[in-house]
Structure 1
């Protein structure tokens, strides 16, 4: 599958969205149990049929607004049609899942090589349990010890949050280095798509960050505020060392980015990424969770003749004004100034808005107070159901990886 007219480029949070990458939740969520929820970064077990219905509604809203929707699984299938790429992907997939027993690795590799590309793409996301291929592979000690629920290839139920494992910045791509081992296979998938799919390969898209870098950096912490300014959250999932590495790569490359606002957020699961507390909805307007205002610290990394300089900023609002060269900044508090309502709706991703055009955003319908406030401020709000989608701790922005914005 080729997309000859699609040249990836994102230099705005609010420009008209033209193409996006999604993943439709699937069998990987059926692998969640009360015993592995914490390991796989979930707080509850979603109802799979319902979560698929909600995600399909999300995709329909995007398509109805003229946005090309691409799916991770389809893109991966495209690149696995090449036998050499398919073989190396299988080797890397087994390695990242800790398959080190030579005999087991050999059996699994042969088994997977005989499968069709779509089956391999499915397994890479939904996993491969012992029971799926019982009596085909000789049992090692691990299979006996963990007999009931032993995964040769672990599921990646967070894959529907496509924002995190990769992100377009200007005309280049960032392959995240994930904090949690449970999410590292997602970046392996993204890396194979980036390195081998025509969308990236034929357009000579540079790489600003790589998943082999030691320090963690995740896409939910990266906001593209303009062609020259990005904001990066520093908290539970993204380290200061990673942000400096990204800055160096952007400034030394051919990126137009000249200024990075580093927003230090509390290390807390409620605020796992910057976009769980702060997003841009219009040229001068941002939604913000007021409950963490006193805990924020803001720094600037600014490109200069020596590489870059770092300075501490007074506060987020003044830093945004200066960096974006705006006279006025409007901060819209999600949930209003009622602390209880604001905290409840932030937990349900009220701040995780996806702008599809200036002043036009997609949000969850359950965040009634925040949506009402945004509408009062003149923001066009498109609501989608998210009762099950939100159980994974992410909203419309988390569930989308923009490839092209005008």
Structure 2
């Protein structure tokens, strides 16, 4: 383990991203669109090409990428973000709500053991998935309650990590998004991309008090992953090429936007942030 990781793992959401864990979409498959009631055909070859482009974007910007060996029984394993979350002291192991994803837990837990990253909290009775997890600053954590995480899971996490000095808040939304990262994303220090109309006033008030600048996304664009970006630190953010309005706003704020072509993967139900699990952020 390098000297940086000896000190801490992930300090916040906006520091310099040094290392991530990802999983190629080797076993992407036909997936039922529950909103439109038909199967969407996923081009597996194209998905793998897009994933490779994202990996290359990270590596060319100084981010080390650790790759999982895909399990042919785990069709959603590409969304590495969701098995848990990493903080300064180690990682939190989540608990998937839906059966099709439960098998991912053992694979990712084994990988984290191989990487030497300690598990400092584990969700067993409630539900928690990493797409709902955000560090608003070094000691303030917001966890979404949308479709996949519940209050019991948040309470379990709080009871195990509050000894480290973290304040944890729940963020509810009535919108049918899987995770909070579909409607809220911290892209740089004190800058967030957000859909205000689906989030509670209490949360918006907290962001205002913490002096966040908010780049707004319309509710109609949520399922197109307009908020699903990845901060690299040092004023850099990875977005996708068709996210033109958001990318323009990010550049207007002085951010360096690294664009990748991620369109086929969207059919699989997630975006850039969903496919990226931070292991080390300084």
TM-score when scaled to structure 1? Answer: 0.64
> In the aligned structure 2, how far is the partner of 1:25 from the partner of 1:5?
32
Give SS of 2:142's match: strand
* Cα contact 2:81–2:131 (8 A) shared by 1: yes
Matched, 1:224 2:135: yes
Q: Which has the larger radius of gyration?
A: 1
Matched, 1:318 2:200: no
Match of 1:208 among 104, 121, 127: 121
Q: What is the CA RMSD across the aligned residues, in angstroms?
A: 2.1
> In the aligned structure 2, how far is the partner of 1:57 from the partner of 1:158?
19
Aligned to 1:53: 49
* Cα contact 1:14–1:357 (8 A) shared by 2: yes
Greater per-residue helix proportion: 1
Give SS of 1:197's match: helix
Taking a change above 3 Å as real, the CA distance of residues 288 and 33 of structure 1, as seen in their structure-2 partners, is closer
TM-score when scaled to structure 2? Answer: 0.91
Taking a change above 3 Å as real, the CA distance of residues 248 and 25 of structure 1, as seen in their structure-2 partners, is same
Segments of structure 2 that go 5 or more residues without pairing to the other structure are none
> In the aligned structure 1, how far is the partner of 2:16 from the partner of 2:134?
15
Matched ranges for 1:1-400 at <5 A: 3-4=1-2, 7=5, 9-26=9-26, 28-29=27-28, 32-33=29-30, 44-73=40-69, 122=70, 125-126=71-72, 155-194=73-112, 196-200=113-117, 205-210=118-123, 213-252=124-163, 255-257=164-166, 259-266=167-174, 268=176, 271-292=177-198, 296-297=199-200, 315-322=202-209, 326=210, 328-334=211-217, 342-400=218-276
Q: Residue by residue, what CA displacement relative to the aligned partner does 1:372-401 show, whole Å, maximum 9, x if unpaired? A: 222223222111111111112211111100
How many Å apart are 1:321 and its aligned residue?
4.5
Give SS of 1:21's match: strand
How many Å apart are 1:54 and its aligned residue?
0.8
How many Å apart are 1:318 and its aligned residue?
2.3
Give SS of 2:275's match: coil
Highest RCO, 1 vs 2 (Cα 8 Å, sep ≥ 6): 2
Number of residue pairs matched? 277
How many Å apart are 1:45 and its aligned residue?
2.5
Taking a change above 3 Å as real, the CA distance of residues 187 and 6 of structure 1, as seen in their structure-2 partners, is farther
Greater per-residue strand proportion: 2
* Cα contact 2:235–2:255 (8 A) shared by 1: yes
> In the aligned structure 2, how far is the partner of 1:173 from the partner of 1:43?
35
Give SS of 1:53's match: helix
My pick for the range that moved more, 231-240 or 185-194, is 185-194
> In the aligned structure 2, how far is the partner of 1:280 from the partner of 1:364?
16
